[in-house]
Structure 1
């Protein structure tokens, strides 16, 4: 059985505050952990983990989140709810009349509240997409790693989605060449769980991953683009 994506993890200065923000926006619970908090997802919607880190962010984040809205009032409500919980507007060079709204959560993580009627978000649920800076080939790697479906393959862009639907993960080359600080621990990363991490790590290496470090409960690897991700045993 392929590894399961448990969460997208973010290193932040105040995990409790950022976790509370996302739990409030998404209507989920917060689970306290040793070095941070988990906002659990399910087979349809991705979960989020926020881990304590006081290191300075180097370069622009390599992924951000897209939230779906159902109509203009819903989009405005989502934005207002985010702002009231500590988000702020973020200028990333978008046009003044852009239909989506770009925000930063209390931990400095970028998110976009997309406009209603965006067909790409159809059937994804509220957390519509995790969009990443990456190559076309890394999308194929993650398709095979997770056992998900390839739902987009055009030019440099790829996207995958669980067979049950829900949150999509997409890749496009935003600001390459160069891998910036990807030889270090990623401030943002995927976290996977498997019944047998050792055996699953071998499979992932055969798919193109590389080993970074052995952990007490699993292993840190890197995908073919050099992005670190953690694989550990099922809790």
Structure 2
């Protein structure tokens, strides 16, 4: 869908993003339970024909339509991939995602506090902060990462979808300490210094060497 190279990465497959696009990594595992779908992707459209082509291409390689309560008059199309991950193909003319590129947004369920945490953790500026909804974006532009949709559903299991960070300069201990100072909590630290942490909303994320 994203028309990028796939790279083997340990037990998973990595779709690395260019400087202005978030990369994605997929690993084997059980399908996420419904309450653990705390993020989904937004793909943009340059025209109605482009949107229709994107939807048709997705359906041809295993996606399917899904009803999440969207209204008939809404212009976006909601799909789910073969791994149970939701994504939306956004209608053309969406000003909020203008200039982001085809992979427009990672849309997460979360509080304003978690948006502020990730802004500081990634050193990405807030580009949206309104009505308890936040979004950050690389200083170079490109894919946005957004949070909203309170109240959060009770979290009763580990998240199937997580952020993966690499330590700048390779100093894992210093980066762990920095993230903890911002409000993260350590879950575990591996023998190589890599770590699993949780953010201020309790979402697991991983930190590993570059």
Which TM-score band (shorter chain)?
over 0.9
Which consecutive unaligned segments of at least 5 residues does structure 1 have? 1-24
Alignment of 1:81-160 (within 5 A): 81-160=57-136
Q: Give the structure 2 partner of residue 80 of structure 1.
A: 56
Q: Distance in 2 between matches of 1:69 and 1:101?
A: 11
The 3 A distance-change label for structure 1 pair 138 and 103 is same
Judging by fraction of residues, say which structure has more strand.
1
TM-score by length of 1: 0.84
Q: Give the structure 2 partner of residue 12 of structure 1.
A: none
The worse-fitting range, judged by mean Cα deviation, of 134-143 and 53-62 is: 53-62
Q: Greater relative contact order (Cα 8 A, min sep 6): structure 1 or 2?
A: 1
The 3 A distance-change label for structure 1 pair 202 and 67 is same
Supply the RMSD in Å over aligned alpha carbons: 1.4
Structure 1 residue ranges (4+ consecutive) displaced by more than 6 angstroms after TM superposition:
none
Number of aligned residue pairs: give it: 207
The worse-fitting range, judged by mean Cα deviation, of 73-82 and 35-44 is: 35-44
1:199 and 2:174 equivalent?
yes
Alignment of 1:139-218 (within 5 A): 139-176=115-152, 178-181=154-157, 184=158, 186-194=159-167, 195-217=170-192, 218=194
The 3 A distance-change label for structure 1 pair 113 and 208 is same
Give 1:150 deviation, angstroms: 0.4
